[in-house]
């Protein structure tokens, strides 16, 4: 059974780190078939974005994909060469060479299929295959990228296609109840269910990409998250954990990359509301936490959260709609954060929402929107209240060491 090892950008940020990873892979390769997926080195992607933005504030997404895909294409031959210096047969493959076929949605492409023939051929020959994460090729032959966290998705998709397991190596020691940057006493989890991890990731936990977890869950791919080159045990993501229902809250997710948009004075009709969200969907915009105020004078205000990077696209959608509905306008609030509590235990424990409302009332913490699912409750709150919220919820639900 092949092992797919994925190393993030911080893990391959320098030549020295790449050499150390090559030694680690050499030890593993002695008795395992290995496919290694890597991200761009350090802040390479950020630098590439900055470069093209110096030429154009609104570059073509096709050309942006062509540029950003080069980041991973730098890492793969460097790691492959470091492995060869360790006397390990290795070969580097771009996403296209690895047979990763995607949709043609530039910057947010989805993997449609993987032809593993070439990878399988190299594995059978005893070669370590080093694959560029985050990228693939469309049916028209264009290079595409998979969006934020796309290398995680690449790794899991390869594990599915090859019938293997997947290990994600990053700069943290596993999955924590709360991001340690917000709470230094956060407790590391030895296990977490796919369902809880998917919920936490979709609500802002940045350790793993949502699509990667969704795919792992669907195809039952064993996932393991650990710190690069550390001997400390990481976190296993599995179907069921021992304490799945006895623990009410498993963790807290924080999403700082969202904004709250309010579309005001929209003429009230079901058709107009549907048109708004269809236009947003057609631009591949991820919308969450939707709330619709009661109609007033035959007009309505629709609010929702979206990614900060999509602010310009949101504005363009509304400007296009103004041609038919000249009363509408959009306002955005960048000073909010989405805080979510997650836990399968909520299914069998009532009163969690009531208890958190009580905690917020006692601390005079204001919230703008609230949404719930079967295993999570999300609030939009002010950035200035984040640490206070985390502190009181962590203590109430024993999320600390």
Number of domains in the chain: 1
Mean pLDDT for 369-376 is 91
pLDDT at 318 exceeding the cut of 90: yes
Which position has the token pair 């996932």? 223
Q: 187 in a domain, yes or no? A: no
Residue 168 has pLDDT above 90, yes or no: yes
Does residue 371 lie in a domain region?
Answer: no
Q: What is the CATH number of the domain that holds 85?
A: 3.40.1160.10
Which tens digit of pLDDT belongs to each residue from 280-298? 999 989 899 999 999 999 9
pTM of the model: 0.82
Q: Residue 196 pLDDT > 80, yes or no?
A: yes
Looking at residue 244, what is its pLDDT? 57
Mean pLDDT over each residue of the chain, to the nearest integer: 93
CA atoms within 13 A of residue 365's CA, in its CB half-sphere: 27
- pLDDT tens across 43-94, in order? 999 999 999 999 999 899 999 999 999 999 999 999 999 999 999 999 999 9
Provide the pLDDT for residue 345: 86
Tell me, yes or no, whether 64 lies in a domain. yes
Cβ neighbours for 159, distance < 8 A, ≥ 6 positions apart: 2, 4, 165, 166, 216, 221
Quote the pLDDT of residue 81: 98
**Does 94 fall in a domain?**
yes
Average pLDDT over residues 150-160: 97
Residue 180 placed within a domain: no
Residue 25 lies in a domain: yes
Query: pLDDT value at position 149?
Result: 86
- 131, pLDDT greater than 60: yes
pLDDT at 14 over 90: yes
Q: Is residue 309 part of a domain?
A: no
Domain of 147, in residue numbers:
3-171
Q: Does 347 have pLDDT greater than 90?
A: no
């Amino acid at each position: 059974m092949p092992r797919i090892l994925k190393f993030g950008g911080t893990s391959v940020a320098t030549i020295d780190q790449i050499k150390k990873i090559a030694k680690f892979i050499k030890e593993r390769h002695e008795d395992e078939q290995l496919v290694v997926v890597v991200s761009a080195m350090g802040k390479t992607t950020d630098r590439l974005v900055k470069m093209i933005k110096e030429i154009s504030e609104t570059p073509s997404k096709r050309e942006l994909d062509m540029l950003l895909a080069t980041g991973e294409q730098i890492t793969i031959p460097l790691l492959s060469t470091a492995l060869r210096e360790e006397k390990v047969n290795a070969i580097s493959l771009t996403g296209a060479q690895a047979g990763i076929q995607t949709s043609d949605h530039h910057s947010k492409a989805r993997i449609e299929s993987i032809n593993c023939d070439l990878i399988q051929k190299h594995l059978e020959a005893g070669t370590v295959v080093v694959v560029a994460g985050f990228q693939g090729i469309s049916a028209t032959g264009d290079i595409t990228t998979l969006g934020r966290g796309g290398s995680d998705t690449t790794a899991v998709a390869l594990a599915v296609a090859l019938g293997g397991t997947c290990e994600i190596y990053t700069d943290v020691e596993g999955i924590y109840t709360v991001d340690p940057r917000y709470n230094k006493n956060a407790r590391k989890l030895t296990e977490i269910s796919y369902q809880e991890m998917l919920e936490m990731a979709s609500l802002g936990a940045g350790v793993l990409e949502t699509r990667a977890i969704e795919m792992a869950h669907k195809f039952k791919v064993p996932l393991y998250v650990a710190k690069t080159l550390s001997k400390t045990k990481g976190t296993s993501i599995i179907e069921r954990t021992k304490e799945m229902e006895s623990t009410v809250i498993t963790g807290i997710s924080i999403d700082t990359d969202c904004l709250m948009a309010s579309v005001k004075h929209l003429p009230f009709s079901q058709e107009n509301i549907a048109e708004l969200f269809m236009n947003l969907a057609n631009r591949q915009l991820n919308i969450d936490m939707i709330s619709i105020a009661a109609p007033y004078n035959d007009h309505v205000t629709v609010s929702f959260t979206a990614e900060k990077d999509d602010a310009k696209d949101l504005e363009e959608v509304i400007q296009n709609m103004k041609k038919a509905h000249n009363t509408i306008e959009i306002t955005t609030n960048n000073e909010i954060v989405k805080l979510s509590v997650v836990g399968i235990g909520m299914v069998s424990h009532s009163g969690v929402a009531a208890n958190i409302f009580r905690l917020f009332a006692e601390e005079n913490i204001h919230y703008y929107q609230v949404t719930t699912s079967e295993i999570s409750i999300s609030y939009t709150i002010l950035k200035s209240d984040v640490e206070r919220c985390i502190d009181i919820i962590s203590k109430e639900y024993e999320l600390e060491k």
